[in-house]
Amino acid sequence: MPIISLFNDIFREPWMIDPQTAVAQKEVLHGLLMGMEFEDDDDDKLPDSVKHNDNNIIPNGKKVHLAYLQGTMFRDGTVCGIPGTRVIANDLLNADSQKEIIGHILIIDSGGGAANSVPDLAEAIQACTKPVIAYVDGYMCSAAMYVGSYCDHIIAHREEDQIGCIGTMIQLADYPKQVRDSDGMMHIRVYADGADEKNSEYEAALEGNFELIKERVLNPANERFKADIKSNRPNVREDQLRGRTYPAKDVTGTLIDAIGNFESAVQKVIELSTLNIKPMDDLKNILTLPTCQDLQSVDGCVTLTKEQMEEIDAAVGVGITEKALNETNQKTITEQAQTIKDLTAERDELKPKADQLDGKEAEIVTLTTERDNLKEENAKKDARIAELEAALDKNPDNDEDPLPAMHLGNPAKEDTFKELSDEEAMEYARKVVKGEI
């Protein structure tokens, strides 16, 4: 803000300011007059909004705009980095036009300021289409009270916050029309003929006559001030319009609406907004995801953050994989069942043949046993024949020791014996062994 403009506001305009703030500003004014330079502190910038990550009652994709009315109020700002009310008004209107903004919180800690700092900001608050909540965090006095009264709802942070100081004042510092200072220098103001009304209130006040400046400057501004407060705050009492400053607890229901924390201000924005906000309680599966537990729909639509989309995508991926595995398992089970069915049919078809084979195998076992028995019996007979042949081989082959006559088995009364040759005797023995005789 240009120094000349600041000085104009300080020395020319009526003031709506509480005494403590006015006294505190004297040192700043003295520093300005002495040429002191002030630097803006950009290291501690305040947030311009709160969103879902800051407060989960705010829907995803939506924001509550934050504006700050702090320190002494000037229309065009100060050299100390405090924005003027015109800047705050423009910020409000710009934010109000943004789709993601659902309302505004005007954080107030100000004892007031120049009277001309009020209109621009008051008009901007009235022009906002979204709710504007005043949140008092310290002082809301005089011009700040004037501005705050235009908000849709006023919440003080603490019971001891200072509220009110509704009234108008002006502070003048100058020499009379003609005076010599302590250094002997004359200070003279001369007006042209016919300009006797020029600055008459100002000149009269410097001479100790305050009627004109009150009648023409202060009283009209003060009456407008009180009338607007009555219009904006219908429950205000007459005695609260006489300039006194009150603790917040004493003016709840009149100059302010409630005492609460910042959370309550955010909740009031949600309450006064036109949005149809509903929790998504029916989405049981999605609500189990950590980032989606407080999912909300706004006017029938749901806005998801990148983090939520990534988590949902991962969950869907797992679901697709499980589905594929289930389908594969089902297919495998179906194929295995068919295989079992086919094998069972084949088994049932082969069973009669197997039973026949089992019978044949039993018959084979029996025949094999009989064969082995016959072989064993034949082996015994062969052994006996070999034994007899060996015995025959021992007999000498001569006439001196012929074989005795063999009984022919003739059933006659008298045995008839016939002397057999060696070959006949051997043949006879074989027949005997074989059981033929």
pLDDT tens profile 381-393: 888 888 888 877 7
pLDDT grade for 6, boundaries at 50, 70 and 90: very low
Q: Cβ distance 333 to 316 under 8 Å? A: no
Q: Cβ distance 143 to 110 under 8 Å? A: yes
Residue 38 CA to residue 78 CA, distance in Å, equals 10
Q: What number is the average pLDDT over the span 4-26? A: 51
Write down the pLDDT at residue 11. Answer: 46
Residue 74 CA to residue 204 CA, distance in Å, equals 27
Q: Which residue has the higher pLDDT, 330 or 169?
A: 169
Q: What number is the average pLDDT over the span 125-151? A: 97
pTM of the model: 0.61
Q: What number is the average pLDDT over the span 39-62? A: 79
CATH number given to 3-176+215-272? 3.90.226.10
- What tens digit of pLDDT does each residue of 321-352 get? 666 667 666 777 887 888 888 888 888 888 88
Question: Which is nearest to 162 in space by CA: 286, 246, 37?
Answer: 246
Residue 153 CA to residue 135 CA, distance in Å, equals 9
Through-space distance between the first and last CA atoms of the chain, rounded to whole angstroms: 156
Six-digit token string for 233 = 């705050």
pLDDT greater than 70 at residue 217:
yes
Domain extent listing, the chain: 3-176+215-272, 277-302, 305-394, 396-434
Percent of the chain with pLDDT over 70: 75
Amino acid at 361: E
Q: In whole numbers, what is the pLDDT of the chain averaged over residues?
A: 81
